[in-house]
Amino acid sequence: MASPRVLMLRAPGTNCDQETSFAFEQVGAKVSSIHINQLVEQPSLGDGYQILCLPGGFSYGDDIAAGRILAQRLNVHLKDLVDAFRSQDRLVLGICNGFQVMMRLGIFFPSDVFPDARQRTPATLTWNQQARFEDRWVHVVNANSNSIFLKDVQTMYLPMAHAEGRFVFAGEAEAEKLASQGQLGLRYSTVDGQVSDETLRFPENPNGAQRNVAGISDPSGNAFGLMPHPERHIDPTHHPSWTRRTEQPEHGDGHIIFHNAVQFFA
């Protein structure tokens, strides 16, 4: 399949859907932007798509907690649709608020792998350690990820903008299990790509995330969520210092995330 179809899910407060749609279209995907209310009224609208994308923004104003209301609506009204993407050989991508929604849904912790996840979720996203919204560029590395989206990725320089992006584990046992399965694949790093399990200092780690986690995948590698915004760096001119570069790369660092998703179905 040369042109996979992407379901771009929108909700009140979503504000990154057009940029993310553009990123997918640049690599050959066909994107349909569908509002959550349309899907609730007619769930069959979600049929025939190979990729489900939950873009960034502030769904429902992030009332109660970031992504909580949209996750609840999906869980109550569209659980079968979400489960179909998870159980079949399709892909799910969540960016920033979309990642927060996926965490609330428990997509990364399926019951067959994490039987106790309902009583004790292995990890969560919470307020940034400095208790404020952060908007900056960060260095991230691929730390032995199983994710299809991170294939051939070594390092990336991406923008981030969030207040609730601090990744916290329930305990050390859960952290070790997730790491051993290649699920903790995207980590904040130093400018020269160095990363460890020891939490980096701000601003290299922009929110205090444990083990410097910037994004995770499910056990299959088909579902992936991250706090930085790859759709905001798909062109070299998106780089904050692009005018001072002596040579321009063909693409911005975030381009490969969308390229890998499309190539999975090529």
Residues with catalytic function? 96, 229, 231
Sign of the Cα torsion 243, 248, 254, 255 reads positive
Neighbours of 151 (CB within 10 A): 16
Both tokens assigned to 161: 């903008």
For residues 245 and 229, give the distance between their C-alpha atoms in angstroms, rounded to a whole number.
Answer: 22
| Contact in structure between 230 and 95 (CB atoms under 8 Å) | yes
Place of tokens 């179809």: 5
Both tokens assigned to 255: 């381009």
In one letter, which amino acid is 100? Q
DSSP state letter for 97: H
